[in-house]
């Protein structure tokens, strides 16, 4: 339904996976989920794959680049030279286990990975300004089920590679996809070969991807916890800046009044005279105006946060509250 909705309004559905066989398994599962008719899958290893559906304006690609190297740089460099409208809407990238296997888990490979990730980061950062780029953290492996030629792929090595990717990309426009790692950790015994995620984990991974992709376009009633937050408008910035000034002035005026009242009270106790003194009407009117605007600003800020269901996923609770208000 999401793809049809986007296609109906002239949009395109283009998702690209870049990585090794682990991402290829997610690609296959996503194709099985979205395609409307049975087709024979091309299960050839170590090659690029493509799936399209003209009715849904749907293009799904898998690009075989198991290691972060010059071939992966060229892919992103090519996209940077294209118009933003021609780039994929979502790009999922992941790499690590292939480097561990090829270089037999050496520390030199770890340093090369750090260097290559640092070089790749500017490309990902630039693409991430217009497209959604996800870096998939490497999932844990079931070391007991690994074949002898994969025994060098340990969870300690995977954690080391994940920490490097997180460190390099933490201040970029790339979003770290860590939930897939947690899902695989919970069903690690379902890995048949010890390396690739089982069917349960793949189903969850695909559901997460579709939620992330569709929630920005569909008006669901159960919250929008996985959708992107709406951008703040210039009018909102100006309004809240004005109310912010009023709040600061109101706090300053309240503190000033309290300090002044205490000083007058002390003087009155020393002189033995009454401390009651008539207030300037103009001063009172300014005080009431500023404090009233400050209260209004706080109320508007509260409703603004309530409306941002990306921050607080209680849309359903608010609707129930409105439909069944308390009797008070």
Per residue in 156-203, pLDDT (tens digit) is 999 999 999 999 999 999 999 999 999 999 999 999 999 999 999 999
Mean pLDDT of 7-12: 75
Domain ranges of the chain: 2-214, 234-307
Q: Which of 52, 70, 178, 193 is catalytic?
A: 193
Tell me what pLDDT residue 309 has: 55
Q: Which of 21, 32, 125, 217 is catalytic?
A: 21
Q: Is 193 a catalytic residue?
A: yes
Q: Outline where the chain has alpha helix (H).
A: 2-8, 21-34, 70-80, 97-102, 107-127, 155-169, 179-186, 199-214, 234-271, 281-307, 315-323
Q: Is 196 a catalytic residue?
A: yes
Give CA–CA dist 250/195, Å, rounded. Answer: 61
Mean pLDDT of 146-164: 95
Among 12, 81, 3, residue whose Cα is nearest residue 36: 3
Q: What is the pLDDT of residues 204-239, one digit of tens each?
A: 999 999 888 887 766 555 544 555 666 778 888 898
* pLDDT-wise least confident of 33-42, 116-125, 155-164: 33-42
Answer whether 257's CB lies under 8 Å from 287's CB: yes
Domain 2-214: which CATH number of 1.25.40.10, 3.30.70.20, 3.40.50.1110, 3.40.50.40: 3.40.50.1110
Q: Which of 14, 25, 65, 196 is catalytic?
A: 196
For tokens 């792929």, name the residue: 153
Give CA–CA dist 57/37, Å, rounded. Answer: 15
Q: 276: pLDDT confidence band, cut at 50, 70 and 90?
A: low
Q: 6: pLDDT confidence band, cut at 50, 70 and 90?
A: confident
* pLDDT-wise least confident of 10-19, 116-125, 270-279: 270-279
């Amino acid at each position: 339904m999401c793809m049809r909705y986007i296609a109906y309004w002239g949009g395109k559905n283009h998702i690209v996976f870049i990585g090794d066989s682990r991402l290829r398994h997610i690609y296959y599962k996503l194709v099985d989920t979205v395609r409307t008719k049975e087709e024979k899958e091309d299960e050839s290893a170590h090659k690029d794959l493509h799936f399209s559906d003209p009715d849904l304006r749907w293009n799904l690609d898998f690009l075989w680049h198991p290691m972060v190297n010059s071939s992966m740089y060229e892919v992103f460099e090519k996209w940077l030279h294209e118009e933003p409208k021609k780039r994929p809407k979502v790009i999922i990238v992941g790499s690590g286990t292939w480097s561990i296997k090829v270089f037999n888990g050496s520390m030199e490979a770890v340093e090369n990975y750090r260097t290559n990730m640092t070089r790749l980061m500017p490309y990902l950062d630039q693409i991430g300004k217009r497209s959604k780029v996800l870096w998939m953290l490497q999932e844990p492996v079931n070391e007991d089920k690994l074949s002898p030629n994969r025994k060098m792929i340990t969870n300690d090595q995977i954690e080391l590679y994940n920490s490097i990717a997180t460190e390099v990309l933490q201040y970029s426009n790339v979003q770290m996809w860590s939930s897939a790692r947690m899902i695989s950790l919970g069903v690690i015994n379902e890995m048949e070969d010890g390396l690739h995620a089982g069917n349960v984990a793949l189903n969850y991974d695909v559901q997460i991807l579709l939620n992330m992709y569709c929630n920005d376009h569909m008006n669901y009633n159960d919250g929008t916890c996985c959708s992107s937050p709406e951008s703040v408008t210039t009018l909102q910035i100006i309004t809240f800046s004005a109310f912010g000034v009023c709040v600061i002035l109101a706090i300053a005026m309240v503190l000033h009044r309290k300090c002044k009242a205490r000083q007058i009270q002390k003087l009155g106790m020393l002189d033995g005279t009454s401390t009651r003194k008539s207030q300037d009407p103009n001063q009172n009117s300014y005080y009431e105006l500023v404090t009233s605007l400050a209260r209004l600003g706080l109320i508007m800020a509260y409703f603004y946060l309530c409306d941002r269901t990306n921050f607080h996923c209680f849309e359903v609770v608010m609707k129930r509250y409105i439909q069944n208000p308390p009797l008070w």
